[in-house]
Amino acid sequence: MKIKSDTFIRNPKDLWKGEPEHTEVRDLSPHIGFNQITSDVVNSLENPRPIYWWAIAICIAMVGVGVACEVHQYKTGLGVSNKSNTNVWGVYIASFIFWVGVSHAGTLLSALLHLTHSDWRKSVFRYAEAMTTFALMTAGLFVIVHLGRLWQVYYVMPYPNERGIWPNFQSPLVWDMFVIGTYLTCSSIFLYTGMIPDLAVFRDNIHDGWRKKLYTFLAMGWQGTDRQWRNFRVAYLTLSVYLIILAVSGHSVVSSDFAMSQQPGWHITSFPPYFVVGALYSGNAALITVFIILRYMFRYEEYLNMDVLRKLVRLTFALAMIWTYLHFIEMATVWYGHDQAAKDQLIFKATGVYAGWWWLFNFLAVVCPWVMAFRRWQTNLPVQMVLSLLLNVGMWLERWLIVAPTLGHSHYPWTFDFDQWPSYIQWGILFGSFGWFGLLLLVFCKVFPAVSMYELKELAYARKVELRHAHAEEGHGRPELATKGAH
Amino acid sequence: MSIANLLQNWSRYRDTHPYGGAKPHMGYKWAMAIDMDICTGCNACTVACYAENNLAVVGKEKFLNGKSMHWLRIERYWHDSVEAGDPIELADGKEFKEGKQFHDQGAHFLPMMCQHCEAAPCETVCPVGATNHTQDGINSQIYNRCVGSRYCNANCPYKVRYFNWFNYQDPATENVWPEPLNQQLNPDVTVRSKGVMEKCTFCVQRLRAVMVDARTEERLVREGEVQTACQQACLAGAISFGNMLNPESRISKQWMQQEVNIALDAQPKNKHVGDAVDKRGYRILENLRPYPSVMYLEQVRESAV
Amino acid sequence: MIENNFNRRDFLKVLGWGGAAVALSACGNTSVEDGTEFVTAHSTEGMPEYAIPGVYVHFNSTCAQCDSGCSIVGRVREGRVLKLEGNPESPINKGKICGLGQAGLQAHYNPDRITQPMLRKGDQGETITWEQALTLINEQLGGVKGNEVAFLTGGVSGHSGVLLKNYMDALGSANHYAYEAVTPSVVRAANKKSYGVEMPRLHIDKAQVVVSFGADFLGAWVSPVNFTQQYAKFRKGPNGSRGVLIQVESKMTLTGANADRWLCIRPGTEGVYALGLINALGAAGFKVPSAAAAIAKDYTAERVIQETGIPAEHTEKVVALLKERTPSLVLFGSAAEGYAHGSQNAAAITLLNHVLGNVGKTMAAPASVPFPQIAPKVGNRHALHALNDKIAQGNIKVLFTYGSNPVFTSHSSLNFKENLKKVPFKVVLSHYRDETAMEADLVLPLDSVMEDWGSSVPEYMADAAQINIQQALSEKLYPDTRGFGDVLLALLKQRRPTEYGQYEDFYGYLRNAMVQNKAALGGGTASDDMFWQKTVSHGIIKLPAKAASALKTPTATKLAFAAAAADEAYPLHLIPSTSAHMRDGRHANIPWLQESPDPITTVVWDSWVEIHPATAAKLGVVEGDVVEIASRSGAIKVMVYVFKGIHPDAVSVPMGYGHEAMGRYAKNTGQNVFKVLDSVFDKETGELALHETRVKVTKTGQKVKIVKDEGPYGGGQAGKRIALRKTTDKVNLSKEV
Amino acid sequence: MIRYFLSLTVLLAGLFAAATSSADNSTIGDGVAPGANNAAAAAAKEKGGYVADYDDIFKVKGGPEAKPDTEIKPLMWNSVDEVFYDELGPHVEQPIEFPHDRHAGDPNKVNPDGKTGDGINCMYCHTYARRSLTSGIPPLRKCIGCHQNIPSVRDTPRIEKLFEYWDAGKPIPWKKVHDLPDYVRFNHERHIQRFIFKQERPYKEVCGYCHGDVSSMTVARRVKTLSMGFCVNCHKKNHALDNTFTKAGHGPNDCFMCHK
């Protein structure tokens, strides 16, 4: 039985109708076999929809804009980004947190859900893990872009030097450097390790050209022997455990950039969980965006299907609710606390020069996710596409509104309320960062399997077994009915 | 710093809050006191600071954008600006609610520079240790170590750190010191390039010069031997500066007389309510516990007129 | 070994070629990045033994940024003067120096200085040599009568003043005009009338109460450095009592901002208030001389409230305080004098001083220099009008100007710039190519104060009489600039070669003149060289104190104040305010001064108009709105600063901004308020009444961001303990009030 | 990764410590002789305006047990022998190849060119070293002052060139050999005062510690790195303060000393 595949462009009349009941599917159709998985994935790499090339071109153009802005800033000095001696940070630090946040969803899907044996993750975790790596790389770039003397960035690293001096280990920025570096290293290793069986499949299915050489090299002689599989599973499990710790500690450390300081609006104990959940939230929203794009672009409709999307959306909604709770907790602790400066800061956010943005952020990040609560819209692709983008805009604003208002309204009234609107340089570099991230991801998805073949095959096997059991038990009937209760 | 002291106890090697800290001040603790009752707000100290410390004149547009580089700025407050803020709570607990139509008790001038906090919030966060506490109690800023993360400024409660947003010394672009204006530059003070943070140093070049002389002569720096540029310029003599550890110095007497203890975050002076005018010393944002080294003396206004 | 016996002067001479390489070597002008040094080595060629590279040498000199005559110490290293400090020996500034004085460095190193003599060729300037220039002047002077030559200067004193007088005598001209745009000339006249001296010595530090009618003695009035030091003592009090400062004015000055009570008075009614105080003092039982009481008897409390707008409760308190505490001191400045009835205002206020018995207690007769030829010739505004009349009649053929910028500072109704075209040959001695220099036929570049020698006698001497020595602190930056004295000497040599031919330059003349009077200058039996060396190294000669003569006793006359007529078309008073840094605009090209905020408004790099919130609301303007300030004589467009330190009937624009020439920092920075001043004069002295201009303010609709140091929070403290203020009740007036 | 890094650095540190722990010798003032008396310290205390804290600063050690501070652990680079900082600077072409060996060299030793040195004290020419930050290049008249009385070498090319400059009235454009970055401020005066005048060490040893054996060079050439490690290395050691060896102290170690 062929399951009706969705198309990206639908009849506009159906746009708000949501997914009809009869197209309800499971995470993987039991009718998909191993060979089909292999051929679908390999073919998708060879032959994406033409929009792929347009996307690549757009990303390159965006990177070009970002690089041009950065070159100008590098040559002239950071002043062109229009910060001031009061508002010393700006878009860069906000974007840094944002990208670190985006990276977290990948770890959640690939590592945490791996441990909980959530099978539906199997088609999405690969690109999610790739997003982790690339988002961290983008975040790292922002740290460097933000420095006044970025050519001296190596001073932050504790390398043995002739001067006999070390970085300041008390500084959260140094912790950042450690944690981001570690996280990036580990997530790259995790991504690569998980790909080895699939790379071997590619190696065996592609017969010439540079790809063949590449896959041969990267597959590291994977033969799929029992011993290899056993070692592989142990290594993969270990890494995933380690990565979860890193992910949680990672954003906690980033939050301590702020929470360790004495500035009102930053000096908040609940920041680490708030940051971590916020990261998962925005990262999941980003996953949905990429989900919809890849699904269309690489013709992954069979694998990135509505069931997976629904679960992803539900997960995002759950995270959004946790985050909302923490958001209000944060405000409540400030409001009922004794720190007058922090209270002033909160009032300033809601009424000061950043008030418009603050209310917009609250609408986007707190109110908007409620759309996800409605079943009919959970699998509505245009709605989810727009929604996930809006959530990310909201979450970016959240980060910016952590950074900027505190700088503009901290302890010293003489420097209060400078409305330092970032210049086009800052926006250009932020814009370029999306191009850079997109480019990396698109190239990755074209060169490497963006869905995990071996895990899908496991899933396919499981579904086939289920189907067989259903037939055996019922003796007749439709397989869809047999599996319905599994939701 | 090295691996060995890193492994032993790295934090022991920082000079921090001296009282109870592992490393006491060695012979010197530089501190300042500013009497705001006689400060007239004339800006002589500001110009002196520009002259002494090679501060860049940034021009109108950059000043507008908050990129001014005045290490020492004179802040002007109105105590009667009811619209602008809340009533000011006075030291004696009363609220100040006066002056509706005019600023009829004058302005309040407050020279604000780096407070050289003993437990400076900026020092702990610098990723590269470019800002440190010296043994004589100064908050140092090392330009050639600074990478420009601006974390120190973000953490400074007083916002007295200034960043080089542009290459002010570059004749091709900014040209803050066009020929022959650059000949005025003080050779004892580095001209900062773009991307580094800078701030008031208590005129460390002057301090170090006399401290070196004193070492050669095997003594400590005497009271009055060194002045900061602002202190030297201050027409009214509102600024005093010196070594707190010298019991004979004006500064230590002043702090003692005002009963301001550098190691406390709140001064127990309530017993002196009756003698209020003489006990005017306080430190700004003391309650945040940065233990600033600059004591301010409250302004006085005669209530009889 | 060759050991040259260098003296101070030779040092400066040889530094030219020895110091050229040195000058840059320690500039610190290298990159933090690679740290490479631009310059090869320290060269100490020709430097005397005491000039050690890396070690500061201090030389004394005199500040010429304003006329206060503060003594300065130049910190010199490797031939470059790096910083100016105050000379502790001077009783005027006692080791301190204000921001304006510090900025003298940037006048010296200013990138926009003129470096060569320029001759007008059509619209262009052509550089010529000094020989050509002097020859040209000689030629031009050849065909004109003595009285057709005029010399316009600022205030002059000392030996250059002597040379100037001699030169005018040699030409047979009596046309020396000393012109200062911003100067308390009505104050001088009134003091002369009332106390017998133009500028009595003030003892602010001895006063218990100071009532100041718009005298900005902490900012820009007469001798602010000295007064600020006195003020500090006044605040601390000799026996623990803290002096009380009451400022009565329409626009808050720096002094007003430091007052215990700032009383906002209707513009021009200062005299009324002074007489009202006398009347109230009499009523409160203070012994007021009958003559004064007679004059003041009409000024009842009701009348005073109605005319001045100062609430009765404050007046009562002031009266009680003045009665309770003696001695007091009453001062008055530009705000009181700047009206058509300014002299009347001044007379009333001086009378108040007499009534309070301050004369002789907190005011004393000043010392005077026993050499009348070097005594200061202070400038006034009247001089420019007199000269302008002559020029307009075509009676001036050759005009020299020095130390003033009349094209910029004259009010436009005077039409000075146009009249100037009637002068066939105009020589401008200047540091900058300012507005007046742009009109000149010949521009002669002057040495900066740091390069020039000279002597001066300050008008206000804090202690005994003194002569200030101005010493060159560094070698000339440009070879083709000359000192004012040198130029005068060269011109005099053309006229009286026998008399002045013996002097190589002004330095020689100065030294000779001083050494000749060694005995009178307290030189004793020291050798000429020793005396001169001592003089130069101290930078100041303190003359033996003479017994101070007593000030005059009061002579009361009937006073009348023209009531300010309501003006429908131009309802507001314009107060051109004097900023301590800009003064009349001569320092506008110094970047430090442009960048250091105005103390009251914290505005930088621009001019502004202060408007009271009530007036602003009436006009519908807010901060940053650009308004047009139009008088009968002209209009300027300035941005609004809403300010509760100004009378609702007045607006205030600072002077000194709005240059059309002069240099990169001054040009097009702000607006020139001199342009809109009306031709109204003080009735007695003929001085231009600066505060008498009436204006109307209209909104242009344009809006700018106001560039100020004060944050958007506007000087509030958000309930935080930042700037704390205590009230003291040491003065118990309960029984009086 | 963090574990990698830590283990790597610890390993490196261990290696250096092992390699260099025995090499800490033959530096200026490294040893403090035991058994010196306290009299000099007491006398010194009386000189200052107030003396209470003087001991703290200079760590006055007295009594028979006084010994150099051996508590300093073999640190990362601290005990690396000075050899580590040997580095020949670039050849600097000077307008006149000034022969340092001829002027300052040992009078009893014959140079390769067959002449002996004159044994002139460094500070005869570099006269500002003891009282200024900079040591100073001698003015031309100092050269001429001697050389006009030495007719024997008057016709040699270098001296002729010297007199050319003199006659033209121009300073010789010497080039800097020991060039520190502008953000570093080295104080000659303090070092000379301490090591030559207070401790009475031979000037060749003191000057030569940084500048190498200039008396054996013709044109001076940098022989030490003059890097920050070179300075800090020395400043961390405990040195005797005077020739009585009663007091020891190390150079100031705060960054503001040299960078400001």
Residues A11-43: tens digit of each pLDDT: 445 444 444 444 455 667 777 778 888 888 888
Check CB contact under 8 Å for B151 and A84: no
- Taking the C-alpha atoms of residue A359 and residue A417, their distance in angstroms, rounded to an integer, is 18
Check CB contact under 8 Å for D189 and B216: yes
- With contact defined as 3+ CB pairs under 8 Å, the chains touching B are A, C, D
Q: Residue ranges of the alpha helices (H) in B156-299?
A: 204-216, 229-233, 250-257
Element (H, E) at C537: helix C528-538
The predicted-structure confidence for C504-533, as pLDDT tens digits, reads as follows 889 999 999 888 888 888 877 888 888 888
| pLDDT of residue B53 exceeding 90 | yes
Task: Write the residue in D49, D183, D194 that is nearest to B222 by C-beta.
Answer: D49
Task: Establish if A414 touches chain C: CB-CB under 8 angstroms.
Answer: yes
Mean pLDDT value across residues C320-347: 87
CA distance A414 to chain C (A): 5
Asked whether the beta carbons of C594 and C657 are under 8 A apart, the reply is: no
Task: Write the residue in C4, C35, C40 that is nearest to D181 by C-beta.
Answer: C35
Query: Is residue C734 exposed (0-12), middle (13-18) or buried (19+ Cβ within 10 Å)?
Result: exposed
CA distance B261 to chain C (A): 18
- Taking the C-alpha atoms of residue B120 and residue B125, their distance in angstroms, rounded to an integer, is 9
The predicted-structure confidence for C20-54, as pLDDT tens digits, reads as follows 333 333 333 333 333 333 333 334 444 555 567 78
Check CB contact under 8 Å for C17 and D134: no
Nearest chain D residue (CA) to C25? D182
Nearest to A27 by CA among A458, A478, A476, A474: A458
Nearest chain C residue (CA) to B64? C707
Check CB contact under 8 Å for D233 and A160: no
| pLDDT of residue C540 exceeding 80 | yes
The predicted-structure confidence for D119-161, as pLDDT tens digits, reads as follows 888 888 888 888 888 887 887 878 888 888 888 888 888 899 8
Check CB contact under 8 Å for B81 and C716: yes
Task: Establish if D57 touches chain B: CB-CB under 8 angstroms.
Answer: yes
- Measured at the CA of A30, the angle between CA A27 and CA A35, to 5 degrees, comes to 105
The 8-class DSSP code of residue A364 comes to: I
- Taking the C-alpha atoms of residue A129 and residue A279, their distance in angstroms, rounded to an integer, is 14
Mean pLDDT value across residues C382-395: 90
- What is the 3-state secondary structure of chain D? CHHHHHHHHHHHHHHHHHHHCCCCCCCCCCCCCCCCCCHHHHHHHHHCCCCCCHHHHHCECCCCCCCCCCCCCCCCCCCCCHHHHECCCCCCCCCCCCCHHHHHCCCCCECCCCCECCCCCHHHHCCCCCCCCCCCCCCHHHHHHHHCCCHHHCCCHHHHHHHHHHHHCCCCCCCCCCCCCCCCCCCHHHHHHHHHHHCCCCHHHHHHHHHCCHHHCCCCCCCECCCHHHHHHHHCCCEECCCCCCEEECCCCCHHHCCC
Work out the pLDDT band at C592, boundaries 50, 70, 90.
Answer: very high
Check CB contact under 8 Å for D170 and C2: no
| pLDDT of residue D54 exceeding 80 | no
CA distance C35 to chain D (A): 4
Check CB contact under 8 Å for B185 and C28: yes
The predicted-structure confidence for C696-719, as pLDDT tens digits, reads as follows 999 999 999 889 888 777 777 877
Work out the pLDDT band at B93, boundaries 50, 70, 90.
Answer: very low
Nearest to C133 by CA among C119, C147, C123, C113: C119
A407 to chain B: which residues are within 8 Å by CB? 154
| pLDDT of residue C124 exceeding 60 | yes
Q: What count of Cα atoms within 13 Å lies in the side-chain half-sphere of residue A66?
A: 21
CB–CB contacts below 8 A, A to C = 31
pLDDT for position D78: 41
Name the token pair of D129. Answer: 């070293």
Phi-psi region of C272 (alpha: psi -120 to 50; beta: other; left: phi over 0): alpha
pLDDT for position C86: 92
B196 to chain A: which residues are within 8 Å by CB? 148-149
What's the residue count for chain A?
487
Q: What are phi and psi of C12, to 5 degrees?
A: -65, -35
Cα–Cα distance list, C466 to C90, C376, D179 (Å): 9, 12, 49
Name the token pair of B243. Answer: 């070594």
| pLDDT of residue D37 exceeding 60 | no
- Taking the C-alpha atoms of residue A453 and residue C387, their distance in angstroms, rounded to an integer, is 99
Phi-psi region of D129 (alpha: psi -120 to 50; beta: other; left: phi over 0): alpha
- Taking the C-alpha atoms of residue C513 and residue C516, their distance in angstroms, rounded to an integer, is 5
Q: What global pTM score does this model have?
A: 0.87
Nearest chain B residue (CA) to A412? B158
What's the residue count for chain C?
737
Task: Write the residue in A158, A164, A186 that is nearest to D232 by C-beta.
Answer: A164
Nearest to C517 by CA among C493, C541, C497, C484: C541
How crowded is residue D196: how many other Cβ atoms within 10 Å of its Cβ? Answer: 20
Task: Establish if B64 touches chain A: CB-CB under 8 angstroms.
Answer: no
Instruction: Mean pLDDT check: name the lowest of A428-437, C395-404, C562-571.
Output: C562-571
Prediction ipTM score: 0.86
A186 to chain D: which residues are within 8 Å by CB? 1
CA dihedral D82, D87, D91, D92 (to 10 degrees): -60
Q: Which residue has the tokens 């110094």?
A: C590
Q: Which residue has the tokens 């005319």?
A: C307
Query: Is residue B204 exposed (0-12), middle (13-18) or buried (19+ Cβ within 10 Å)?
Result: buried
Work out the pLDDT band at B272, boundaries 50, 70, 90.
Answer: low
pLDDT for position B12: 53
The predicted-structure confidence for B201-224, as pLDDT tens digits, reads as follows 999 999 999 998 888 888 888 888
Q: Which of D20, D55, D259 to mutate to test the interface with B (most CBs of B within 10 A)?
A: D259
The predicted-structure confidence for B108-147, as pLDDT tens digits, reads as follows 999 999 999 988 889 889 999 899 888 888 899 999 999 9
Task: Establish if B81 touches chain D: CB-CB under 8 angstroms.
Answer: no
pLDDT for position A301: 80
Provide CB contacts within 8 A for C660, sequence distance 6+.
Answer: C408, C435, C667, C668, C672
Q: Which of D166, D182, D184, D189 to mutate to test the interface with C (most CBs of C within 10 A)?
A: D182
Task: Establish if B179 touches chain D: CB-CB under 8 angstroms.
Answer: no
B163 to chain A: which residues are within 8 Å by CB? 78, 85, 88, 148
Mean pLDDT value across residues B41-66: 92
pLDDT for position C100: 93
Average pLDDT of the residues of chain B: 82
CB–CB contacts below 8 A, C to D = 81
The predicted-structure confidence for C619-637, as pLDDT tens digits, reads as follows 889 889 999 999 998 999 9
pLDDT for position B274: 52
Check CB contact under 8 Å for B109 and C710: no
Element (H, E) at C639: strand C635-642
In the three-class reduction of DSSP (H, G, I as helix; E, B as strand; rest coil), residue B32 is classed as strand
CA distance A86 to chain D (A): 24
In chain A, which stretches have pLDDT less than 70? 1-27, 419, 471-487
Rounded to 10 deg, the angle between the A271-297 and A51-76 helix axes is 140
Q: Residue ranges of the alpha helices (H) in C217-269?
A: 224-236, 254-257
Check CB contact under 8 Å for B217 and D49: no
Task: Establish if C2 touches chain D: CB-CB under 8 angstroms.
Answer: yes
- Pairing state between β B139-141 and B131-133: antiparallel
| pLDDT of residue C551 exceeding 70 | no
- Identity of residue B38: I
Name the token pair of D159. Answer: 């001296």
- Identity of residue B291: Y
- Pairing state between β C328-332 and C261-264: unpaired
The predicted-structure confidence for C429-462, as pLDDT tens digits, reads as follows 999 999 999 999 999 999 999 888 999 999 898 8
Asked whether the beta carbons of C41 and C25 are under 8 A apart, the reply is: yes
- Taking the C-alpha atoms of residue C304 and residue C186, their distance in angstroms, rounded to an integer, is 24
| pLDDT of residue C11 exceeding 80 | no
Work out the pLDDT band at D248, boundaries 50, 70, 90.
Answer: low
Q: Which of D183, D228, D231 to mutate to test the interface with B (most CBs of B within 10 A)?
A: D183
Instruction: Mean pLDDT check: name the lowest of A429-433, C424-428, C557-561, C672-676.
Output: C557-561
Asked whether the beta carbons of C96 and C226 are under 8 A apart, the reply is: no
Instruction: Mean pLDDT check: name the lowest of B24-28, C72-76, C117-121, C277-281.
Output: B24-28
Instruction: Mean pLDDT check: name the lowest of B71-80, C85-94, D165-174.
Output: D165-174
Provide CB contacts within 8 A for B154, sequence distance 6+.
Answer: A88, A89, A261, A263, A407, B125
Q: What is the Cα Rg of chain B in Å?
A: 20
Task: Write the residue in D5, D75, D77 that is nearest to A162 by C-beta.
Answer: D77
pLDDT for position C51: 67
Instruction: Mean pLDDT check: name the lowest of A354-358, C405-409, D254-258.
Output: D254-258
Nearest chain A residue (CA) to C710? A414
Nearest chain A residue (CA) to D16? A160
- Taking the C-alpha atoms of residue A427 and residue A66, their distance in angstroms, rounded to an integer, is 9
pLDDT for position C474: 84
- Taking the C-alpha atoms of residue C71 and residue C223, their distance in angstroms, rounded to an integer, is 12
Check CB contact under 8 Å for C4 and D141: yes
pLDDT for position C465: 86
